[in-house]
Structure formats: structure tokens, C-alpha cells
């Protein structure tokens, strides 16, 4: 019993340390830096995944998180900042964070983009004070196999998520339980 209590305390401490060390860096980014990173990440995603580019042309909005840091042992946490684009123009700045508990260990960096297909889907993001993925609207995670068969004629309303730039070792990527909150960075 003492072993599990010590292990749990160690895991919570590691996850807390990860958030404390990564959050100040992410919050210190200026709006200009966040915008530059998000645009570069989106262009790289379009270059490597043509289906994302096709979806991007039809989307009402695209929320791009160019770098998420995730790490932990049993308890894990992740954090990062992103930019919402509507028709190519910046429409807002957001952060994403989550914590999870389970069989997991490691540190990883990755990015993801959420494509909101209709104004109705996008309005939920704008009207919520903090939004948890998995609550609303519907989300489809597009992996390599799905991306090959996806076309703009098969798109429905909802959101499509693409992961990119994965580096490091950590078992699994997930958006379930991830909270997205609007922020106001320094210009």
C-alpha cells in the first residue's frame, strides 16, 4: 500500500512539475510569435497531408496548436498555445491543457489542428468560457488511413482533428478531456 501511495505522489509531482516548467514558456509567447508558429505549422500540415489542405479550404475556422508538451509517469499532463484562423485571418488565441491518469510514461511534443466545418460548430468555441473536447460538437480524429479516403464531398458538419510533428516517446495521443480556453497574449 505504501508503495502505491509513494508511486502516486511521485506521479502527481512529475505531472505538476511538467505543467509548471512548460506553462510559463508557453504563456510568455507574444501574439505575433504564436501567430507565426501556427501559420508555419499549418503550412507544414498542408504540405504533408493534402486532405488537410482540402478540408482547410472548406472550414469555417481552424484552431492550430503548433506545439503541445505532454509528459508524465502514471499521471500525465499536457499544455500548449494556439491560434484560431477564420478565412486566413486571426480570430483568437487559445491554450489547451489536460491531465490524465493511467498506464503511461514518457515525454512527447506534438501539434494538432482542429477544423471546424460550419459556423455553428465554431460558435460553440466562441461562446464557452472553457471548452472540453468530447463535450460538443462531434469530433473526428483523422489518421493517415482516413486522410487518404477523405474528400471534401464526404465532409459533414463537426470537427476534424489532425495530429502532426510528433516527437518523443509516450504511449498514445488523445484529445478526450482536453480543455481549450481563450487567452489574451501580449502583442
Per-residue pLDDT reduced to its tens digit, 47-96: 999 989 999 999 999 999 999 998 888 778 889 999 999 999 999 999 99
177-to-64, 74, 82, 96 alpha-carbon distances in Å: 18, 16, 17, 10
**Strand 159-170 versus strand 139-141 pairing type:** parallel
Length of the chain measured in residues = 187
Average pLDDT over residues 99-122: 85
Nearest CA among 83, 63, 78, 52 for reference residue 172: 78
- Total count of domains within the chain: 1
Q: What is the pLDDT of residue 28?
A: 62
Lowest mean pLDDT among 58-62, 124-128, 159-163: 124-128
Predicted model pTM: 0.77
- What domain range is 179 assigned to? 2-183
The pair phi, psi for residue 121, each rounded to 5°, is -60, -40
Amino acid at each position: 500500500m505504501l508503495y502505491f501511495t509513494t508511486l502516486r505522489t511521485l506521479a502527481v509531482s512529475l505531472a505538476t512539475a511538467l505543467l509548471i516548467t512548460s506553462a510559463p514558456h508557453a504563456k510568455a509567447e507574444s501574439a505575433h510569435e504564436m501567430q507565426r508558429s501556427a501559420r508555419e505549422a499549418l503550412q507544414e500540415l498542408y504540405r504533408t497531408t493534402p486532405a488537410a489542405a482540402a478540408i482547410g479550404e472548406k472550414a469555417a475556422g481552424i484552431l492550430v496548436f503548433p506545439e503541445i508538451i505532454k509528459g508524465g509517469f502514471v499521471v500525465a499532463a499536457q499544455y500548449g498555445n494556439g491560434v484560431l484562423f477564420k478565412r486566413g485571418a486571426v480570430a483568437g488565441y487559445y491554450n489547451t491543457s489536460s491531465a490524465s491518469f493511467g498506464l503511461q510514461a514518457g515525454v512527447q511534443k506534438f501539434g494538432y489542428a482542429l477544423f471546424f466545418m460550419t459556423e455553428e460548430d465554431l460558435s460553440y468555441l466562441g461562446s464557452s468560457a472553457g471548452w472540453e473536447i468530447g463535450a460538443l460538437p462531434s469530433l473526428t480524429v483523422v489518421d493517415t488511413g482516413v486522410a487518404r479516403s477523405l474528400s471534401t464531398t464526404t465532409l459533414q458538419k463537426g470537427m476534424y482533428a489532425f495530429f502532426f510533428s510528433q516527437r518523443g516517446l509516450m504511449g498514445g495521443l488523445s484529445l478526450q478531456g482536453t480543455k481549450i480556453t481563450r487567452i489574451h497574449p501580449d502583442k
